[in-house]
Amino acid sequence: MKEFWNERYGQPVYVYGKAPNPYFAEQLKKLEKGKLLLPAEGEGRNAVYAAIKGWQVQAFDYSEVGREKARQLADSYEVDFDYQLVKGSEFKTSDKFDAVALIYAHFEGEERKMLFAELENALSPQGHLIVEVYSKNQLGKDSGGPKAVDLLYSKDEIKALFPHVDFLILEEAKVYLDQGSLHQGEAAVIRAVGVKNV
C-alpha cells in the first residue's frame, strides 16, 4: 500500500488540492488553538492550514512522497509542523493533544482498532475529535474513497472505536466534494465532533 500512495502522490499536482477539508476547517475555527494531531495526512493540506492558524501540529503518514509534498506546501506558506513517517499500526505517542482530526483516514481491521485506541489515548481530557470519512454507503460511487467496504465506516463503528468520547455531532451526510482531482462529486460521509470525557 505504501507504493500505491507514493505513486498517487508522485503526480506534480496536489491530488486532493492544497486547500483544507472544509468541514475540518469549519470545526477547527470553533476551538481554542493548541496541539493538533493529524493521522494519514498525505500531502499536508490540513496540517498547513492549521499551522497557518496558529496550531502546534503533529502529523503522520507512511508515504515519503506525501511527506515531501507536505513540506513543500508548508515552505510555500512559511510555516512548519512535525511530520512523522510511520504506519498507522505502529504509531505511538506519549504526547497529549487538544484536538485529533480524522479526515479521510481509512484503515482496516486490526490496524484501525490499534491506531484509534492510541489516538483516543493521545487526546487530552475535554480534547476534541473531528471526523470526516467515507461511509459504507460510498461504495459504488465514483467521487473517491476505498473500494472495499471494510475500509469504510458506519456511525456505530465510529462510536464504538472511541468509547471515551461524547459525540456532539455524529451523522451520515450526503455532500458534494470539490477537493482536488480525486474527491469530486456527490459522496456519502460520516461527520463527527466529540469531546473526550476522561
CATH of the domain at 125: 3.40.50.150
Q: Is the pLDDT of residue 6 over 80?
A: no
Q: Where are the beta strands (DSSP E) in 95-164?
A: 97-103, 123-134
Cell of 187: 459522496
Mean pLDDT over each residue of the chain, to the nearest integer: 95
The whole-number average pLDDT for the span 32-59 is 97
Question: Once rounded to an integer, what is the mean pLDDT over residues 109-114?
Answer: 91
Tell me the C-alpha distance between 2 and 64, whole Å.
Answer: 9
Q: Which residue has cell 460510498?
A: 138
For residue 89, the enclosing domain spans 2-196
Of the pLDDT bands very low, low, confident and very high (cuts 50, 70, 90), residue 158 is very high
d(CA 113, CA 108): 8
Q: What is the DSSP letter of 162?
A: -
Domain tally for the chain?
1
Q: What is the pTM of this model?
A: 0.95
pLDDT reading at 168 higher than 90 = yes
Query: Does the pLDDT at position 2 exceed 80?
Result: no
